[in-house]
Amino acid sequence: MKNTVENRVRMLIVGVFTMLFAGIIYAWSILKVPFAQELSYTPSTLALNFTLTMCFFCIGGLLSSVLVKKFTTKPVIVFSGVLAGLGFVNTSLLSSTAPALLYLTYAFMAGLGIGVAYIVIISTVNVWFPDKRGLSSGALMMGFGASSLVLGNLAASLFESSLGWRGTYIVLGIAIAAVISLSAIFIEKPDATVTLPAPKKAASKREERFEARDYTSGEMIKRFTFWRAFLFLVFNTAVGSAVISFARDLALSVGATAALATTLVGVLAMFNGLGRILTGIVFDKMGRRFTMLLANLLTIVAAGMTLLAVNIHSLVLCIVGLCLTGMSYGASPTVASAFTSAFYGTKHFASNLGVVNFNLMAASFIATACSSLQVSTGGYIAPFVLLLSLSGVALILNLSIKKP
C-alpha cells in the first residue's frame, strides 16, 4: 500500500473492521451459555473467566508495545491474530468440568492475543490522525464495541444450528485469526515522507491550558494526576464491566424472554459502540475536561436507572439502563485513549495506553465482586448500590484532574 495521507481513511476502515472481530471477547454473556448448560460451570466460575480475560487483555496491551519495538507492527499483528484464533479453537475442545482449561484457552490465549492486537492497531492507526485523535479512537473502539451485537448474536444463532457451540467456536477462531492477521497488510505507520495535518487547537474555553510534552511510562506513573485519572477510569468502567458480564441474566431477572435477553446484549453492544464514536467527536469539539465529566455523569445516571429497574422489576427501565450503560462504558476507553495522548504525548503512546488500560483489569475484579454479591444476596440491588457509589467517587476524582 502506498504510504500517503490519502490512505489514512482506508487504514481507519480496515482498523474498524479488524476491531469488530477483536471485540468478540465482550460478547461473553452470550458466549458463556454453553459452558453453563453443558459443562455445568457455576456463575462464579464464568465471572472469574471474564475477569481473567480482562487481566490478560491488559497484559497483552503492555506486551504489545514491547513487541512492536523489537519486531515492528506487521509481525506483531499476525502473532496476535493467530494467538487469539487458537484460543477460540482450543476452547471448542473443552470436555472437562474443570475450568482451568477454559482459563488457559479463552482467558489467557484469546485475551492476551486480542489485548496485543487492540493496542498495536489503535496506536498505529491513531498516528495518522493527529488532527482528529478523538474521532479516530472512537471509530476504532466503535468497531470493538459493536462486536457483541454483530458476532455475539451470530454466535447465539450458530449455537442452535448443526454446528453447535463447538463448531461455532472453531468458526469464530478461524475468522478472528484470518481478519486480524490479514489486516497487517494494510495497517502501518507513516514513513518520513508523509506530512500529516497539524493537531487542531481546542476551540472550547472549557479546556485547560498546560505545556504539552511527551512522557515515558515511567514518568507518567510518577504523576499524582495519573493515579487520580486511573482510579476514575476504574470506577467509571466498573459499571459497564459488571453489566457486560451478566447482562443476559440481568434482563431475564426483570422478565425478559430468553430471545429478548440475548437481543438486549446486542443492544448493549450497539450503544457501547455508539458511545465510543460520539465520545471521540465530543472530545475533538469540546476538549478533555468536558468529555470526561459528561462520561462520568452518564455512568451515574446509567447505574441509578438500572438500580431503579431491578428494584421495581421494570423491564422497560432495565432496557433504558442497559442502553445508557452501553454508552457510558463505550465512553471510557475512548476517554482513556484520548486522555493519554492529550496529557502524556504521542511519542510513547502505545506503552502509555497499555499501562492506562490496566484500569480494565481492576474494573473486572469489581465486576467479579458484583457477581458474588448477586449470588450471595439473590438479586441485583446490592451490586448496583456498590456500582452507583463507586461512580460517585469517580466524579470526585474526575473534578480534581486539571493538568499532567
* pLDDT block averages, 10 residues each, the chain of length 404: 69 92 84 86 84 89 86 92 95 83 93 92 86 77 79 88 93 96 89 70 54 84 91 92 84 88 79 80 81 92 94 93 90 82 82 85 86 88 94 92 78
Rounded (5°) CA angle 266-17-122: 105
Residue 214, exposed/middle/buried by CB under 10 A (0-12, 13-18, 19+)? middle
The three cell numbers of residue 159 are 449455537
344, 214 contact by CB (below 8 A) = yes
Closest CA to 236 of 279, 270, 266, 205: 279
Determine the Cα–Cα distance for residues 153 and 261; give it in Å rounded to an integer.
11
* pLDDT of 61: 84
Q: What is the pLDDT of residue 3?
A: 60
Q: Which residue has the cell 488532527?
A: 131
Mutual angle of helices 224-253 and 381-399, in 10-degree steps: 160
Q: Could you tell me the three cell numbers for 164?
A: 453447535
The domains of the chain are located at 5-190+215-399
Contact (Cβ atoms closer than 8 angstroms) between residue 353 and residue 228: no
Q: Tally Cβ neighbours within 10 Å of residue 103.
A: 18
- Tell me the three cell numbers of residue 203: 476551540
The Cα–Cα gap between 135 and 76 comes to: 25
Q: Would you say 388 and 397 are in contact if contact means Cβ atoms under 8 Å apart?
A: no
Round to whole Å and give the CA distance between 394 and 163: 44
Distance from chain centroid for Cα 179: 19
- CA 240 distance to own-chain centroid: 10
Residue type, 212: A
Distance CA 229, CA 332 (A): 11
Q: Which residue shows C-alpha cell 432496557?
A: 319
CATH architecture of the domain with residue range 5-190+215-399: Up-down Bundle (1.20)
pTM: 0.75
Q: Specify the pLDDT at position 205.
A: 43
- DSSP symbol at 72: -
A 10 A CB-CB count for 312 gives: 10
Task: Map grid coordinates 482450543 to a residue.
Answer: 90
* Residue 127, CA atoms < 13 Å, CB-side half-sphere: 20
